[in-house]
Amino acid sequence: MTDQVHIHTHGAVGHLSLNRPKAIHALTTEMCVAMSEALSGWADDDGIAAVIVDHAEGRGLCAGGDIAMLRNSALNDAGKTGREFFHAEYRLNHQLFTYTKPVVAFMDGITMGGGVGISQPAAFRVATENTKFAMPETGIGLFPDVGGGWYLSRLPGRIGQFLALTGARLDGAECHAIGLATHYIASENLARVKAAIIDDPANIQSILDEASETPPQPRILANRENIDRLFAGRTLEDILAALESDDSEWAAKELKTLGTKSPHSCKVALRQLADSLTLGSFAEEMRMEYRIGSRVLLSHDFAEGVRALIVDKTGDPQWNPATPTSVTDEQIDAIFAALPEGEEWTPL
Protein backbone atom coordinates (compact mmCIF):
# COMPACT_ATOMS: atom_id res chain seq x y z
CA MET A 1 0.00 0.00 0.00
CA THR A 2 0.99 3.66 -0.25
CA ASP A 3 0.56 6.74 1.90
CA GLN A 4 -0.38 8.64 -1.29
CA VAL A 5 -3.97 7.39 -0.93
CA HIS A 6 -5.81 6.61 2.29
CA ILE A 7 -7.69 3.32 1.99
CA HIS A 8 -10.21 2.57 4.71
CA THR A 9 -13.48 0.84 5.37
CA HIS A 10 -16.15 2.46 7.53
CA GLY A 11 -18.75 -0.17 8.30
CA ALA A 12 -20.10 -1.29 4.95
CA VAL A 13 -18.44 1.52 2.95
CA GLY A 14 -15.03 1.38 1.30
CA HIS A 15 -13.22 4.73 1.22
CA LEU A 16 -10.51 5.87 -1.22
CA SER A 17 -9.13 9.29 -0.26
CA LEU A 18 -6.31 10.73 -2.41
CA ASN A 19 -3.43 12.07 -0.33
CA ARG A 20 -0.85 14.07 -2.30
CA PRO A 21 -2.00 17.55 -1.26
CA LYS A 22 1.16 19.38 -2.44
CA ALA A 23 0.53 17.99 -5.95
CA ILE A 24 -3.25 18.51 -5.75
CA HIS A 25 -3.42 14.70 -5.49
CA ALA A 26 -2.01 14.08 -8.97
CA LEU A 27 -2.10 10.35 -9.65
CA THR A 28 0.95 8.10 -9.63
CA THR A 29 1.21 4.49 -10.80
CA GLU A 30 1.46 3.45 -7.16
CA MET A 31 -1.83 5.19 -6.32
CA CYS A 32 -3.65 3.63 -9.26
CA VAL A 33 -2.46 0.12 -8.38
CA ALA A 34 -3.34 0.56 -4.70
CA MET A 35 -6.86 1.76 -5.52
CA SER A 36 -7.39 -1.07 -8.02
CA GLU A 37 -6.31 -3.66 -5.45
CA ALA A 38 -8.66 -2.19 -2.85
CA LEU A 39 -11.59 -2.11 -5.29
CA SER A 40 -10.92 -5.73 -6.30
CA GLY A 41 -11.02 -6.79 -2.66
CA TRP A 42 -14.20 -4.89 -1.92
CA ALA A 43 -15.92 -6.23 -5.03
CA ASP A 44 -15.73 -9.73 -3.55
CA ASP A 45 -16.54 -8.65 0.01
CA ASP A 46 -20.21 -9.10 0.89
CA GLY A 47 -19.64 -6.75 3.82
CA ILE A 48 -18.96 -3.78 1.53
CA ALA A 49 -22.04 -2.16 0.00
CA ALA A 50 -20.64 1.02 -1.57
CA VAL A 51 -17.46 3.04 -2.17
CA ILE A 52 -16.64 6.71 -1.56
CA VAL A 53 -13.91 8.45 -3.63
CA ASP A 54 -12.67 11.81 -2.36
CA HIS A 55 -9.50 13.65 -1.33
CA ALA A 56 -7.77 14.47 1.93
CA GLU A 57 -6.78 18.09 2.61
CA GLY A 58 -6.01 20.46 -0.21
CA ARG A 59 -7.50 22.34 -3.15
CA GLY A 60 -9.26 19.60 -5.05
CA LEU A 61 -9.99 15.99 -5.81
CA CYS A 62 -7.18 15.54 -8.35
CA ALA A 63 -5.30 17.80 -10.77
CA GLY A 64 -4.43 14.99 -13.19
CA GLY A 65 -1.62 12.51 -13.67
CA ASP A 66 2.00 12.89 -12.65
CA ILE A 67 3.04 15.00 -15.64
CA ALA A 68 6.65 15.43 -14.50
CA MET A 69 7.04 11.64 -14.35
CA LEU A 70 5.55 11.25 -17.83
CA ARG A 71 7.92 13.80 -19.35
CA ASN A 72 10.86 12.26 -17.53
CA SER A 73 9.87 8.86 -18.92
CA ALA A 74 9.60 10.21 -22.46
CA LEU A 75 13.05 11.79 -22.20
CA ASN A 76 14.88 9.03 -20.32
CA ASP A 77 13.35 5.57 -20.78
CA ALA A 78 11.63 5.78 -24.18
CA GLY A 79 8.24 6.08 -22.46
CA LYS A 80 8.37 2.73 -20.60
CA THR A 81 7.45 4.15 -17.17
CA GLY A 82 4.84 6.39 -18.75
CA ARG A 83 3.17 3.48 -20.54
CA GLU A 84 3.13 1.51 -17.28
CA PHE A 85 1.33 4.44 -15.65
CA PHE A 86 -1.24 4.74 -18.45
CA HIS A 87 -1.85 0.98 -18.35
CA ALA A 88 -2.50 1.01 -14.59
CA GLU A 89 -4.52 4.22 -14.68
CA TYR A 90 -6.76 3.05 -17.52
CA ARG A 91 -7.33 -0.27 -15.72
CA LEU A 92 -8.51 1.70 -12.70
CA ASN A 93 -10.76 3.86 -14.92
CA HIS A 94 -12.31 0.77 -16.51
CA GLN A 95 -12.65 -1.00 -13.16
CA LEU A 96 -14.62 1.96 -11.76
CA PHE A 97 -16.74 2.18 -14.92
CA THR A 98 -17.77 -1.49 -14.66
CA TYR A 99 -17.92 -1.70 -10.84
CA THR A 100 -20.99 -3.54 -9.60
CA LYS A 101 -21.32 -1.66 -6.31
CA PRO A 102 -22.33 2.01 -6.17
CA VAL A 103 -19.46 4.51 -6.17
CA VAL A 104 -19.86 8.09 -4.93
CA ALA A 105 -17.21 10.55 -6.17
CA PHE A 106 -16.92 13.97 -4.54
CA MET A 107 -15.68 16.47 -7.14
CA ASP A 108 -14.93 19.21 -4.62
CA GLY A 109 -12.33 21.67 -5.93
CA ILE A 110 -9.99 20.97 -8.84
CA THR A 111 -11.10 17.92 -10.84
CA MET A 112 -9.02 17.72 -13.99
CA GLY A 113 -7.49 15.07 -16.23
CA GLY A 114 -6.88 12.02 -14.05
CA GLY A 115 -9.42 13.38 -11.56
CA VAL A 116 -12.05 13.22 -14.30
CA GLY A 117 -11.04 9.61 -14.94
CA ILE A 118 -11.79 8.50 -11.38
CA SER A 119 -14.94 10.58 -10.88
CA GLN A 120 -16.88 10.25 -14.14
CA PRO A 121 -17.29 6.44 -13.94
CA ALA A 122 -19.03 6.79 -10.56
CA ALA A 123 -22.79 6.29 -10.39
CA PHE A 124 -23.01 9.36 -8.14
CA ARG A 125 -20.90 12.44 -8.91
CA VAL A 126 -21.16 15.34 -6.48
CA ALA A 127 -20.15 18.85 -7.51
CA THR A 128 -19.86 21.82 -5.17
CA GLU A 129 -19.37 25.58 -5.38
CA ASN A 130 -15.61 24.84 -5.40
CA THR A 131 -15.60 22.47 -8.39
CA LYS A 132 -13.20 23.35 -11.22
CA PHE A 133 -13.60 20.71 -13.92
CA ALA A 134 -11.45 20.60 -17.06
CA MET A 135 -9.68 18.41 -19.58
CA PRO A 136 -6.80 20.79 -20.42
CA GLU A 137 -4.54 18.30 -22.20
CA THR A 138 -4.36 19.94 -25.63
CA GLY A 139 -2.45 22.79 -23.98
CA ILE A 140 0.47 20.48 -23.13
CA GLY A 141 0.48 18.34 -26.25
CA LEU A 142 -1.56 15.48 -24.80
CA PHE A 143 -5.21 14.53 -25.38
CA PRO A 144 -8.30 14.12 -23.15
CA ASP A 145 -7.65 10.56 -22.01
CA VAL A 146 -8.85 8.53 -18.95
CA GLY A 147 -12.10 7.93 -20.82
CA GLY A 148 -12.43 11.53 -21.93
CA GLY A 149 -13.31 10.42 -25.44
CA TRP A 150 -16.28 8.48 -24.07
CA TYR A 151 -17.59 11.12 -21.67
CA LEU A 152 -17.05 14.22 -23.80
CA SER A 153 -18.41 12.73 -27.03
CA ARG A 154 -21.67 11.89 -25.24
CA LEU A 155 -22.34 15.37 -23.84
CA PRO A 156 -25.17 17.47 -25.36
CA GLY A 157 -24.54 19.12 -28.72
CA ARG A 158 -20.92 20.06 -29.33
CA ILE A 159 -20.03 20.80 -25.71
CA GLY A 160 -17.63 17.85 -25.63
CA GLN A 161 -15.69 19.06 -28.66
CA PHE A 162 -15.56 22.55 -27.17
CA LEU A 163 -14.20 21.25 -23.85
CA ALA A 164 -11.70 18.88 -25.50
CA LEU A 165 -10.23 21.54 -27.79
CA THR A 166 -10.20 24.60 -25.53
CA GLY A 167 -9.64 22.98 -22.13
CA ALA A 168 -12.34 25.30 -20.77
CA ARG A 169 -12.95 25.11 -17.02
CA LEU A 170 -16.44 24.41 -15.75
CA ASP A 171 -17.78 25.21 -12.30
CA GLY A 172 -20.03 22.93 -10.27
CA ALA A 173 -23.25 24.42 -11.60
CA GLU A 174 -22.10 23.88 -15.19
CA CYS A 175 -21.06 20.29 -14.46
CA HIS A 176 -24.50 19.63 -13.01
CA ALA A 177 -26.30 21.27 -15.91
CA ILE A 178 -24.68 19.12 -18.60
CA GLY A 179 -24.68 15.84 -16.66
CA LEU A 180 -21.04 15.60 -15.58
CA ALA A 181 -22.32 15.79 -11.99
CA THR A 182 -25.43 14.05 -10.69
CA HIS A 183 -25.78 16.29 -7.61
CA TYR A 184 -24.84 19.79 -6.47
CA ILE A 185 -24.18 20.09 -2.74
CA ALA A 186 -22.58 22.87 -0.69
CA SER A 187 -19.07 21.90 0.41
CA GLU A 188 -19.89 22.70 4.04
CA ASN A 189 -22.38 19.82 4.00
CA LEU A 190 -20.09 17.14 2.54
CA ALA A 191 -18.85 15.75 5.86
CA ARG A 192 -22.44 15.29 7.02
CA VAL A 193 -23.41 13.64 3.71
CA LYS A 194 -20.47 11.21 3.84
CA ALA A 195 -21.36 10.28 7.43
CA ALA A 196 -24.97 9.64 6.37
CA ILE A 197 -23.81 7.38 3.52
CA ILE A 198 -21.59 5.43 5.92
CA ASP A 199 -24.56 5.01 8.28
CA ASP A 200 -26.96 3.93 5.52
CA PRO A 201 -25.23 2.94 2.24
CA ALA A 202 -28.43 1.38 0.90
CA ASN A 203 -29.97 4.85 0.60
CA ILE A 204 -27.28 6.87 -1.20
CA GLN A 205 -29.70 8.28 -3.77
CA SER A 206 -32.11 9.73 -1.19
CA ILE A 207 -29.27 11.02 1.01
CA LEU A 208 -27.74 12.94 -1.91
CA ASP A 209 -31.13 14.11 -3.19
CA GLU A 210 -32.05 15.53 0.21
CA ALA A 211 -28.71 17.32 0.63
CA SER A 212 -28.78 18.81 -2.88
CA GLU A 213 -29.54 22.44 -3.55
CA THR A 214 -30.37 24.42 -6.66
CA PRO A 215 -27.10 25.49 -8.27
CA PRO A 216 -26.49 29.01 -9.62
CA GLN A 217 -27.35 29.72 -13.24
CA PRO A 218 -24.83 27.72 -15.33
CA ARG A 219 -22.84 30.05 -17.59
CA ILE A 220 -22.18 27.46 -20.28
CA LEU A 221 -25.87 27.28 -21.18
CA ALA A 222 -25.76 30.96 -22.18
CA ASN A 223 -23.12 30.01 -24.77
CA ARG A 224 -24.75 26.79 -25.87
CA GLU A 225 -25.95 28.16 -29.21
CA ASN A 226 -22.48 29.52 -30.01
CA ILE A 227 -20.82 26.24 -29.02
CA ASP A 228 -23.14 24.06 -31.08
CA ARG A 229 -22.90 26.35 -34.12
CA LEU A 230 -19.23 27.30 -34.13
CA PHE A 231 -17.82 23.95 -32.97
CA ALA A 232 -19.99 21.94 -35.35
CA GLY A 233 -17.23 21.35 -37.88
CA ARG A 234 -15.90 17.85 -38.46
CA THR A 235 -12.32 19.08 -38.77
CA LEU A 236 -10.20 21.52 -36.78
CA GLU A 237 -9.88 23.70 -39.89
CA ASP A 238 -13.70 23.86 -40.17
CA ILE A 239 -14.03 24.95 -36.55
CA LEU A 240 -11.30 27.59 -36.83
CA ALA A 241 -12.89 28.95 -40.01
CA ALA A 242 -16.28 29.21 -38.30
CA LEU A 243 -14.78 31.10 -35.38
CA GLU A 244 -12.84 33.42 -37.69
CA SER A 245 -15.93 34.28 -39.71
CA ASP A 246 -18.00 35.11 -36.61
CA ASP A 247 -17.77 38.69 -35.38
CA SER A 248 -18.76 38.01 -31.76
CA GLU A 249 -16.46 38.70 -28.81
CA TRP A 250 -17.00 35.11 -27.65
CA ALA A 251 -15.78 33.67 -30.96
CA ALA A 252 -12.69 35.91 -30.90
CA LYS A 253 -11.85 34.76 -27.37
CA GLU A 254 -12.18 31.06 -28.23
CA LEU A 255 -10.19 31.51 -31.44
CA LYS A 256 -7.38 33.07 -29.42
CA THR A 257 -7.55 30.17 -26.95
CA LEU A 258 -7.31 27.58 -29.73
CA GLY A 259 -4.28 29.42 -31.08
CA THR A 260 -2.37 28.42 -27.92
CA LYS A 261 -3.15 24.69 -28.22
CA SER A 262 -1.18 21.97 -30.00
CA PRO A 263 -2.70 21.57 -33.49
CA HIS A 264 -1.67 17.90 -33.45
CA SER A 265 -3.37 17.32 -30.07
CA CYS A 266 -6.51 19.11 -31.20
CA LYS A 267 -6.79 16.91 -34.29
CA VAL A 268 -6.17 13.80 -32.19
CA ALA A 269 -8.92 14.87 -29.76
CA LEU A 270 -11.49 15.48 -32.50
CA ARG A 271 -10.76 12.07 -34.04
CA GLN A 272 -10.88 10.46 -30.60
CA LEU A 273 -14.35 11.84 -29.85
CA ALA A 274 -15.69 10.88 -33.27
CA ASP A 275 -14.29 7.34 -33.07
CA SER A 276 -15.54 6.90 -29.51
CA LEU A 277 -19.15 7.07 -30.67
CA THR A 278 -18.54 3.99 -32.83
CA LEU A 279 -17.22 1.87 -29.94
CA GLY A 280 -19.37 -0.70 -28.19
CA SER A 281 -17.69 -0.79 -24.80
CA PHE A 282 -15.60 1.27 -22.41
CA ALA A 283 -12.85 -1.36 -22.69
CA GLU A 284 -12.59 -0.53 -26.40
CA GLU A 285 -12.33 3.14 -25.45
CA MET A 286 -9.45 2.42 -23.09
CA ARG A 287 -7.70 0.29 -25.70
CA MET A 288 -7.95 3.15 -28.21
CA GLU A 289 -6.73 5.73 -25.70
CA TYR A 290 -3.78 3.55 -24.68
CA ARG A 291 -2.71 3.36 -28.32
CA ILE A 292 -2.90 7.14 -28.55
CA GLY A 293 -1.18 7.69 -25.21
CA SER A 294 1.68 5.32 -25.97
CA ARG A 295 2.56 7.38 -29.03
CA VAL A 296 1.68 10.92 -27.97
CA LEU A 297 3.86 10.41 -24.88
CA LEU A 298 6.91 10.33 -27.15
CA SER A 299 5.81 13.21 -29.38
CA HIS A 300 7.59 16.52 -29.75
CA ASP A 301 4.53 18.45 -28.63
CA PHE A 302 4.19 16.71 -25.27
CA ALA A 303 7.79 17.34 -24.22
CA GLU A 304 7.54 20.91 -25.52
CA GLY A 305 4.15 21.62 -23.96
CA VAL A 306 5.24 20.45 -20.52
CA ARG A 307 8.47 22.42 -20.82
CA ALA A 308 6.68 25.64 -21.72
CA LEU A 309 3.76 25.43 -19.33
CA ILE A 310 5.02 23.41 -16.36
CA VAL A 311 8.84 23.21 -16.25
CA ASP A 312 10.10 26.58 -17.54
CA LYS A 313 6.67 28.26 -17.23
CA THR A 314 7.43 30.48 -20.24
CA GLY A 315 3.99 29.85 -21.74
CA ASP A 316 5.38 29.85 -25.27
CA PRO A 317 5.24 26.29 -26.63
CA GLN A 318 6.67 25.92 -30.13
CA TRP A 319 4.37 23.29 -31.62
CA ASN A 320 5.54 21.03 -34.43
CA PRO A 321 3.63 20.74 -36.73
CA ALA A 322 2.91 24.41 -36.10
CA THR A 323 -0.39 24.75 -37.97
CA PRO A 324 -3.51 22.60 -38.38
CA THR A 325 -2.99 22.27 -42.13
CA SER A 326 0.49 20.84 -41.58
CA VAL A 327 -0.90 17.96 -39.47
CA THR A 328 -1.64 15.24 -42.03
CA ASP A 329 -4.32 12.56 -41.97
CA GLU A 330 -1.53 9.98 -42.19
CA GLN A 331 0.05 11.32 -39.00
CA ILE A 332 -3.26 11.04 -37.16
CA ASP A 333 -3.96 7.56 -38.55
CA ALA A 334 -0.59 6.40 -37.23
CA ILE A 335 -1.47 7.58 -33.72
CA PHE A 336 -4.64 5.44 -33.72
CA ALA A 337 -3.17 2.30 -35.31
CA ALA A 338 -3.13 -0.98 -33.39
CA LEU A 339 -0.07 -1.66 -31.26
CA PRO A 340 2.15 -4.70 -31.83
CA GLU A 341 0.89 -8.00 -30.45
CA GLY A 342 1.43 -8.22 -26.71
CA GLU A 343 1.58 -4.44 -26.27
CA GLU A 344 -2.15 -3.58 -26.34
CA TRP A 345 -3.99 -2.44 -23.21
CA THR A 346 -5.99 -5.09 -21.36
CA PRO A 347 -8.51 -4.73 -18.53
CA LEU A 348 -8.06 -6.40 -15.15
Per-residue pLDDT tens digits for 218-260: 999 999 999 999 999 999 999 999 999 999 999 999 999 999 9
Range of the domain at 54: 5-336
The verdict on whether 329 is a catalytic residue reads no
On whether residue 347 sits in a domain, the answer given is: no
Query: Dihedral of CA 270/320/63/227: which sign?
Result: negative
Provide the domain count of the chain.
1
CA distance 187 to 89: 27
On whether residue 341 sits in a domain, the answer given is: no
Catalytic residue from among 60, 64, 114, 149: 114
CA distance 50 to 38: 12
- What is the percentage of the chain residues whose pLDDT exceeds 90? 98
On whether residue 140 sits in a domain, the answer given is: yes
The verdict on whether 225 is a catalytic residue reads no
On whether residue 196 sits in a domain, the answer given is: yes
CA distance 111 to 124: 15
The verdict on whether 65 is a catalytic residue reads yes
On whether residue 292 sits in a domain, the answer given is: yes
What CATH number is attached to the domain comprising 158? 3.90.226.10
Look at residues 296, 339, 324, 326 and name the one whose alpha carbon lies nearest to residue 143: 296
> pTM above 0.75?
yes
Look at residues 9, 15, 84, 91 and name the one whose alpha carbon lies nearest to residue 56: 15
CA distance 294 to 83: 6
On whether residue 344 sits in a domain, the answer given is: no
Q: What is the structure's pLDDT at 57?
A: 87
Mean pLDDT of the residues in the chain = 97
pLDDT < 70 positions in the chain: 1
On whether residue 192 sits in a domain, the answer given is: yes
Catalytic residue from among 60, 65, 147, 293: 65
The verdict on whether 145 is a catalytic residue reads yes
CA distance 271 to 234: 9
Query: Where are the alpha helices (H) located in the chain, listed in sequence order?
Result: 29-43, 67-76, 80-97, 114-119, 148-153, 159-166, 172-178, 190-199, 204-211, 219-222, 224-230, 236-245, 249-258, 263-276, 282-296, 300-306, 329-336
On whether residue 43 sits in a domain, the answer given is: yes
Catalytic residue from among 54, 89, 108, 145: 145
Q: What is the structure's pLDDT at 2?
A: 82
CA distance 65 to 253: 28
Q: What is the structure's pLDDT at 1?
A: 59
